[in-house]
Structure 1
Amino acid sequence: MSALLLVTACGSGSKNNENGSKGNEKQEKTAWEKIEEKGELVVATSGTLFPTSYHEQETNNLTGYDVEIVKEVAKRLNLEVKFVEMAFDGMLTSLNSGTVDAAANDIGVNEERKDKFSFTDSYKYSFGSAVVRKDDLSGIKTLEDLKGKKAAGESTTVYMKIAREYGAKEVTYDNATNEQYLRDVSIGRTDVILNDYYLQSLALTVFPELNITIHPDIRYRPSEAAMILKKGNEDVIEKINGVLAEMREDGTISELSKKFYGGADVSVKQDLDFE
């Protein structure tokens, strides 16, 4: 009787293992397997943020620091890349809905976003600055002077959050061009734009005729930027991070940075004092 029970138990266990194996075979494909199967990485970007994601004037081709990093990552992963242009607010919604696989648009890494999304390793380090009118600095000496001032930007960015915290009045845009943002400060429709130092430095060089400058005394919020993906797509993150590591090692990221940021290597973290 004991022998019979033992054989029955072993037979039952074997059957369960067989069913378990079949069950595993029917498991849904991972995020990376789906991307690999279709052979395409779908990435959200704005197409309006110089020098991160913009269209060349001569050819209208989409390019920029983030865009070219994504192109190289896709190439090394043997994938085609499809860019979908949209405002920042739509990028996060599109990630959660699965409309896009990732977003790349100088997107800052912070704890609030890390709770809801996943990030690749960072490939840009910078800090916050303030574009103001050149002739009077828009009446701003420190961040405390933002109270009551008209701050331009998109409502969900970390920079607009900072403006709100200091009591500024929001003037929001829907995927507007750099020229519109900067011209509005110059003519007094708005007073200040809080944003990334490198982005604002380069944007100002394109419009030297405008009455705008980067505030000489305001530096804040050291930041990092990376590609952002839907929470839990760690297999995709692992693949992308592997390629990013190769690109750092062989100097590709540094070269792209210097190309798009006027010779500056934004892939290296700076040691600066901040407010």
Structure 2
Amino acid sequence: MKMKSFRKWAKRPALLIASALTAGLLAGCGANNDESGESSGSWADIEERGVLQVATSGTLFPASFHDDEEGLTGFEVELTREAADRLGLEVEFTEMGFDGMLTSINSGQVDLAVNDIDINEDREERFLFTEPYKFSYGAMIVRPDDYSGIETLEDLEGKKHGGAATTIYMQIAESYGAEGVTYENVTNDTYLRDIENGRLDVVMNDYYLQSLAIEALPEIDVIIHPDLFYHPNNQAMIMKEDNHELQERLNSVIQEMLEDGTVTTLSEQFFGGQDVSEEPDMEFEEPDVEYDDE
């Protein structure tokens, strides 16, 4: 199995634990084009309405989740709010599973999506991304007594892997012969308990998201596999392929936030003191799989 450094493979794909069916869609901007050829969600339209319409799941701790006191919050939720504020805009979030996000961008129902969404070659052919603000890699949640019988990626054959049908991690698992068990837009405790009780053998996902999910639910007897790390990746905001001015303006304020320490502060707040805006200096196992992003 090939081993690759993070920097060389930093633009490979990844996704999230929770994702699946659309929970609801904004009835806002339509998908009609104006005379300039831009969609009705172009920067001129956004600036005129004064509101940035954003899709997110609301179930993916700590990127996008609900707090009893704060309501919808999370690393990317607050990062988006700060970016919008610096652009003189308000934000309206619409919560949905990942499967609905890209469709909603293309239909003009939202301007962009934030939900630990990975930059990859297939998406870059069909959408625009901002510059990345989070760098990570893949990990596995397994049972602690025998690591669910998994020592290498090849040992995924015959195991039960949980996730949404269209995630990159599901594609990796199934490419190695795992049986995919699909879930709707559920919270992390559902996955972790199903690993503990044997309904699942493994959930493959972002290292930081998985480590925090386990830390938040210590009563569930699962762990992160200590020896298998793979699939370096980075995340950013994703938007319609013709919305170049929105991309440029967001890139400008994201760069400001990286330089003035705002992104680091938000990262440390939501990721237990860790700075996810820094690229980790490690080597990873690179899965032998061709990714198919619907």
- Could you tell me the TM-score, scaled by structure 1's length? 0.89
Q: 1:138 aligns with which of 135, 144, 148?
A: 148
Task: Kindly provide the amino acid, as one letter, of the partner of residue 85 in structure 1.
Answer: E
Task: Kindly provide the amino acid, as one letter, of the partner of residue 92 in structure 1.
Answer: L
| Equivalent pair of 2:38/2:242 in contact (CA under 8 Å) | no
Give 1:139-218 correspondences, 5 Å limit.
Answer: 139-218=149-228
Answer 1 or 2: higher relative contact order, Cα 8 Å, separation at least 6. 2
Which residue is 2:50 aligned to? 39
Which residue is 2:275 aligned to? 265
Task: Kindly provide the amino acid, as one letter, of the partner of residue 134 in structure 1.
Answer: P
| Equivalent pair of 1:135/1:211 in contact (CA under 8 Å) | no
Task: Kindly provide the amino acid, as one letter, of the partner of residue 48 in structure 1.
Answer: T
Q: Find the structure with the greater CA-based Rg.
A: 1
| Equivalent pair of 1:104/1:228 in contact (CA under 8 Å) | yes
Quote the RMSD (CA, aligned, Å).
Answer: 1.3
Which residue is 2:63 aligned to? 52
Which residue is 1:5 aligned to? none
Which residue is 1:71 aligned to? 81
Flag the structure with higher helix content: 1
Structure 1 unmatched ranges of 5 or more:
1-24
| Equivalent pair of 2:135/2:233 in contact (CA under 8 Å) | yes
| Equivalent pair of 2:136/2:232 in contact (CA under 8 Å) | yes
Q: Tell me by how many angstroms 1:27 deviates.
A: 4.2
Find runs of 4+ consecutive structure 1 residues off by over 3 angstroms: 25-30
Identity, % of aligned pairs?
A: 56
Which residue is 1:19 aligned to? none
Task: Kindly provide the amino acid, as one letter, of the partner of residue 112 in structure 1.
Answer: D
Q: 1:245 aligns with which of 237, 240, 255?
A: 255
| Equivalent pair of 1:131/1:194 in contact (CA under 8 Å) | yes
| Equivalent pair of 1:134/1:211 in contact (CA under 8 Å) | yes
Which residue is 1:10 aligned to? none
- Could you tell me the TM-score, scaled by structure 2's length? 0.83
Structure 2 unmatched ranges of 5 or more:
1-33, 286-294
